[in-house]
Structure 1
Amino acid sequence: MKNKILIAPLNWGLGHATRCIPIIKALEENGYEPIIASDGAALALLKKEFPKLISIELPSYNIQYAEKGENFKWKMILQLPKMVLAIKREKSRIKRIVENYKIAGIISDNRLGVYSSKVPSVFITHQLNVLSGKTSWLTTKLHLKYISKFQSCWVPDVSGVQNLSGVLGHPEKVLDKIKYIGPLSRIEKKSLPIKYDIMVLLSGPEPQRTLLEKKLRKELEKSTKEILFVKGVVESQQEIEKTNSITYYNFMNSEQLNTAFNESEVVVCRSGYTTVMDLAKLEKKAFFIPTPGQYEQEYLAKKFKSEIIAPSCKQEKFKASKLEKIHFYKGFNDYSVDTNWNELFGLFQSE
């Protein structure tokens, strides 16, 4: 009998789900049986990637996002009681799942209620410091309180001074349970001819994903450059349309995205951390448009701009002409490491 490991990414954009893909594959390669648990688009994506695996729907946090960036934090604060209730429901559901499916271990990517006192539980995050402006000390303290309930915390980055997550994943005081496991990416670098001048990759929560899509469509529709536009909307059927020099996809699976990334000269995208890890794996050049009000993405955009790695701008200030700046930046370096999955998964071995 293979040990069953529950792997549960947060449904907040698609980044948490996509960075779990290499972990699910590593579990299978090391003789474990992964069971997927999430909700919404994150669950839909992983079910498409791993149709043969058992998948379980978890309670949704059902967070609504502000249309204006300056309202983002306050809207989140108002919804804290709803989040706490969802986490309690999640904990109750996990208790039954562990018993019913004979779970031997848990890997939670930012789902705060997905842990058990009966089996080893791992938390994945790149945010040991949770930025929220003047309240960063409080959000960080609350996050660390939840992390303390897990046996181990895996940070998808390297531990050295040269790293991808900056202050997010590298606090002044590092807890004993923290393990830097190297960046996680489902993408592989391939030597393919360039087919697209620009790849647009959208992701993240609504309504900001739609607002950025409308903005980019308007700005790029008159371009003569060959553009691939991936909307990041996971639906039952893949849809493809061509308008002038722009090819639109509603979504792509991992294999298609891997090819598309490699066939594109530059990438226009959010500065979400999962996307950052993909860009680093490919050593690509990019232009970032952080989600308005998301301190994490705004920080990462500023970090890579100051390091002359990638230019960026606010969503409302984007113009197609700004993409010319990309060529004056050096692009990403690959920080990949050979992750010792056998050692990491040793936590789940039966005594």
Structure 2
Amino acid sequence: MSYQDLEHSKKRILIAPLNWGLGHATRCIPIIESLLENNFEAIIASDGVALQILQKEFPDLIFLELPSYQIEYAKKGAFFKWKLIKNSPKMMEAIYLERKLVKKWVKEYELSGIISDNRLGIYSKKIPSVFITHQLNVLTGNTSWITSKIHQYIIKKYDECWVPDVAEMPNLTGRLGHIKNPHFKINYIGPLSRLNKRTLPKKYDLMVILSGPEPQRTMLETHLKSELTRYKGAVVFVRGVIESEQKKEEIGSVTYYNFMTTSELEQTFNESNLVLSRSGYTTVMDLAKLGKKCFFIPTPGQFEQEYLAKKYKKEGIVPYAKQDKFTIENLYEVDLYKGLEHFKTDLNWKKLFLLFERK
């Protein structure tokens, strides 16, 4: 669909998720669907697999390519932070290019609003701009205080910050998504998930789902393939590799997919007794919505995932293990934990989107 084909009666909102694994893109799916349901035009901007997954979900929308932040994990978790610092000049260059592109697109597409999911250069002083994050505090070990202050300084440039969690206790993000005396407007919009709970016959004893930047995704996949040789039961393994065509392979009692669409994931989650995954926040929100029993393996060195995994274990919700320590026998621990539960919210999208109706 070309720009000329757009319906001029509808206000156009730019949605720009960060390309860091699949989480930022997939949690934008319910937002995009709600924009369309409320008579807005959605224009999507991202790069890499985040852009690809949304193109598969919304083939009729307009897609714009953004420069890559070139986020990479270190092979050793202890070096994760220093790898990010080393790559920060490339990230700053990408943010600078984002600012230039946004100025151009605001005019070219006559945008009425912007929703940025953790893309730091996607905002405009001329139109309402929203920042989505579950990390008001950015945990980086002994540098958490400065990374949190920098992040909060960036958030202040936006009209509103939408946090996909609840404001009160109990909540899913803990100190990640809650700060005292914020100096910007926060809207707690409740956990976001593209999935729905359904009552289906159980087909799999275990569902493994991976995502995230390399090389850690591949390292975990290799480790789990080895461990699964000792697992007694039917397994479905979603590798989290977005390619042009879906591939399915059966090896013994394990069925492998490179990726799944939203509808396929929803069905497979509901057909599975137990889920093994990273403790990324988007996955957490999906599993909470579905009320699933699960086991987490946080990405080594990623403080956010490690914090969430420790929080849920301490609260008796979900067990976890470090990547290099995980064995298939750890899954027996799951029965000792109560599992994630869905937080019901009375979110009114129409009211939330009033921000974009202002002149």
TM (norm. structure 2) is 0.96
The residue type paired with residue 150 of structure 2 is: L
Q: Which residue is 1:248 aligned to?
A: 256
SS state at 1:142 partner: helix
* Residue equivalent to 2:341: 333
Are 1:173 and 2:181 counterparts? yes
Cα deviation 1:160-211 (Å, max 9, x = unaligned): 0100001100112234411100000001000111111000000111000000
| Residue of structure 2 in register with 1:90 after alignment | 98
Deviation at 1:218, TM superposition (A): 0.5
> Of 66, 69, 77, which residue of structure 1 is paired with 2:77?
69
Q: Secondary structure at the match of 1:194?
A: coil
CA distance in 2, matches of 1:68, 1:334: 34
Aligned-pair CA distance for 1:149: 0.7
Structure 2 counterparts to residues 138-149 of structure 1, below 5 A: 138-149=146-157
Does the CA-based 8 Å contact 1:221-1:246 persist in structure 2?
no
Deviating above 3 A after TM superposition, structure 1's stretches of 4 or more consecutive aligned residues are none
Matching of residue 107 in structure 1 with residue 115 in structure 2: yes
Q: How many Å separate the matches in 2 of 1:210 and 1:241?
A: 17
Supply the distance in 1 between the matched residues of 2:83 and 2:232 (Cα, whole angstroms): 40
Unaligned segments of structure 1, at least 5 residues: none
Quick one: which of 308, 317, 323 aligns to 1:315?
323
Q: Counterpart of 2:45?
A: 37
SS state at 1:117 partner: coil
- Post-superposition shift, 1:279? 0.7
Q: Name the Cα RMSD after superposition.
A: 0.8
* Equivalent position amino acid for 1:9 in 2: P
Matched residue of 2:82: which SS?
helix
CA distance in 2: counterparts of 1:344 and 1:60, whole angstroms: 29
CA separation in 2, counterparts of 1:2 and 1:180?
26
> Aligned partners of 1:239, 1:250: CA distance in 2, in Å?
6
SS for the counterpart of 1:141 is helix
Give the match's secondary structure for 2:114: strand
SS at match of 1:79: helix
Matches within 5 A, 1:224-239: 224-239=232-247
- Count of residue pairs brought into register by the alignment: 351
* Stretch deviating more after TM superposition (335-344 or 255-264): 335-344
Q: Secondary structure at the match of 2:122?
A: coil
Superposition pairs of residues 68-217 of structure 1, within 5 angstroms: 68-217=76-225
- Asked if the contact 2:216–2:299 (Cα under 8 Å) also holds between the matched residues in 1, the reply is yes
Is the 8 Å Cα contact of residues 105 and 119 (structure 1) preserved in structure 2? yes
Measured in 2, the distance between the counterparts of 1:85 and 1:146 equals: 16
Tell me how far apart the structure 2 counterparts of residues 309 and 70 of structure 1 sit (CA, whole Å). Answer: 27
Q: CA deviation at 1:338?
A: 2.6
The answer (yes or no) to whether the contact 1:155–1:169 under 8 Å persists in 2 is: yes
One-letter code aligned to 2:217? R
Deviation at 1:79, TM superposition (A): 1.6
Mapped partners of 1:223, 1:84: distance in 2: 45
| Shift in Å, 1:222 | 3.5
- TM superposition shift of 1:350: 4.2
1:324 to 318, 328, 332: 332
Q: Which amino acid aligns with 1:202?
A: L
* CA offsets 1:307-334 (integer angstroms, 9 cap, x no match): 1111101000010111111111110111
SS of the equivalent of 1:64 reads coil
In 2: Cα distance, 1:347 partner to 1:316 partner: 46
What is the identity, as a one-letter code, of the residue corresponding to 1:140? S
Query: How far is the alpha carbon of 1:11 from its aligned partner?
Result: 0.1
SS at match of 1:228: strand
User: Contact between 1:130 and 1:140, CA under 8 Å: does it hold in 2?
Assistant: yes
SS in 2 for 1:267: strand
Pick the aligned partner of 2:284 from 260, 272, 276.
276
Task: Answer whether contact 1:200 1:267 (CA < 8 A) is retained.
Answer: yes
**What is the CA–CA distance in structure 2 between the aligned matches of 1:350 and 1:317, rounded to whole Å?**
53
Mapped to 1, the partners of 2:234 and 2:183 lie a distance apart of: 47
Q: TM-score, normalised by structure 1?
A: 0.99
Q: Is the 8 A contact 2:161 2:184 kept in 1?
A: no
Which whole-Å CA distance do the structure 2 matches of 1:175 and 1:265 have between them?
Answer: 43
Identity score, percent: 60
Report if aligned partners of 1:6, 1:107 keep a CA contact under 8 Å in 2. Answer: yes
**Residue 176 and residue 63 in structure 1: after superposition, are their counterparts in 2 closer, same or farther (change >3 A)?**
closer
